[in-house]
Structure 1
Amino acid sequence: MEKGLRTSPRIGTRQITVIGMLSAISIVLGVTGLGFIPIPPVKATIMHVPVIIGAMLEGPVVGAAVGLIFGIFSVVQSITTPTPVSFVFMNPLVSILPRILIGITTYYTYKMMKTNVKTINMVVAAAVGSLTNTIGVLGMIFLLYLEPYAKVLHLSVSAAKKGILAVGITNGIPETILSAVITAAVVASINKIRRK
């Protein structure tokens, strides 16, 4: 088993510290706007990267916990700084559940990857975690709020469907690439430090 891959469901002092630090990073990325990287014509978010890193370094419980805090922050932000579509993010099924699942899908993908090239294992697991966020959030909006979402944006339901799909592609692909690159670099560096 690769160093840094935790399987125990128990949470110790180190895991609590990691949850706190990574959650704080995710919140700072959101509050300051640093979590949004302009890649014209879109802004790709990296706010879910701390969730992915937590899952790879400390296991699914830590990843899910960081995702939970990221999701709660998303709900709070939708209440405190509302936009026309903020109502969808007030639902925990949209803003919290997919973020918890990021940590779980990342960890189990990482665990199942059997290549001898650790970087490939990390890149694939990070990509799966990022896609979990994109597909989870947009999928829930599509399933639960398609008509009200279309109405508030003054779109037909058909146009709203196309819009959600377009966001998934135009934002999802850059976010997946960024997440994979950043995560692989950070996790590899931390594992090197741990081996010393």
Structure 2
Amino acid sequence: MSKVEQKTQSMDPTHPWKLTTERIVIAAMLAGLTVCITLIPGIGFIPVPNVSGNATTGHIPTIIGGIVGGPIVGLLTGFIFGLMSLLHASSPLFKDPTVAILPRIFIGLTAWATFAALKRFSFDVAAISAGVIGSLTNSVLVISMGMIRGYIPANGVILASFLPQVIAEAIISAIFAEAVARSYAIVQQRLVHAPETKAREELPY
């Protein structure tokens, strides 16, 4: 186990459900990033030829929020993603808040739970798994809610049309989740454990 992994058994030692200043800042930054991504044509929502109408990368900040900020950050960022999906909707499927917003609230929760469960064994595996599980949470819950609400027929051919999109989104999410989580952990540990080369009285703070 590397030094970074040893020092990052928890991204934040604070209770995961406690709202701290750091978590508020992380949530605000990722919510802003979500808004930016979803407003850029062809980036946040990518047209695809199936019932959903769009693949998405807008769920990635929510996954990252769950990993680095915990469940509250994941919840808040997921809500913003769902809201942007609702506002951006061009099909009846995503004009329904129970499809556009409700499933997205759980993305950050499953990403956080996966990362928290696996990080003691391997930081990188935990981050990659969190990316995959978070993305699958989005896909499975949106498709399931769409079927429950009657927007997506329970047809094998139609459901199979989602498969390439689901796989691609999971792979992209895993790559970004691991890269950002690893970078965040390295920066965090350097800030916390950086050695002081000057005497305390000589430091400017």
Shift of 1:170: 1.2
Matches within 5 A, 1:120-131: 120-131=125-136
Gap runs ≥5 in structure 2: 1-7, 191-205
Whole-angstrom CA distance in 1 between matches of 2:58 and 2:136: 13
Whole-angstrom CA distance in 2 between matches of 1:38 and 1:182: 21
Aligned residue number for residue 98 of structure 1: 103
Match of 1:190 among 151, 170, 184: 184
Q: 1:8 and 1:116, CA in 2 relative to 1: closer, same or farther beyond 3 A?
A: closer
Aligned residue number for residue 162 of structure 1: 157
Q: Could you tell me the percent identity over the aligned residues? A: 31
Aligned residue number for residue 178 of structure 1: 172
Match of 2:81 among 64, 70, 81: 70
Question: Could you say what secondary structure the match of 1:145 adopts?
Answer: coil
Aligned residue number for residue 145 of structure 2: 140
Kept after mapping to 2: 8 A contact 1:26/1:47:
yes
Whole-angstrom CA distance in 2 between matches of 1:30 and 1:139: 23
Gap runs ≥5 in structure 1: 150-156
Whole-angstrom CA distance in 2 between matches of 1:37 and 1:143: 24
Aligned residue number for residue 154 of structure 1: none
Whole-angstrom CA distance in 2 between matches of 1:22 and 1:100: 14
Q: 1:192 and 1:37, CA in 2 relative to 1: closer, same or farther beyond 3 A?
A: farther
Question: Could you say what secondary structure the match of 2:99 adopts?
Answer: helix
Whole-angstrom CA distance in 2 between matches of 1:66 and 1:87: 23
Question: Could you say what secondary structure the match of 2:188 adopts?
Answer: helix
Using structure 1 for the length normalisation, give the TM-score: 0.81
Q: 1:47 and 1:14, CA in 2 relative to 1: closer, same or farther beyond 3 A?
A: same
Shift of 1:105: 0.7
Q: C-alpha root-mean-square deviation of aligned residues, in Å?
A: 2.5
The structure having more radius of gyration, on CA atoms, is 2
Using structure 2 for the length normalisation, give the TM-score: 0.78
Question: Could you say what secondary structure the match of 2:19 adopts?
Answer: coil
Aligned residue number for residue 8 of structure 1: 16
Kept after mapping to 2: 8 A contact 1:7/1:59:
no
Match of 2:44 among 35, 42, 46: 35
Q: Which deviations, in whole Å up to 9, do the C-alpha atoms of 1:83-125 show, x marking residues without a partner?
A: xxx2221222211111110011111111111563311111011
Matches within 5 A, 1:47-58: 47-58=58-69
Counting matched residue pairs gives 178
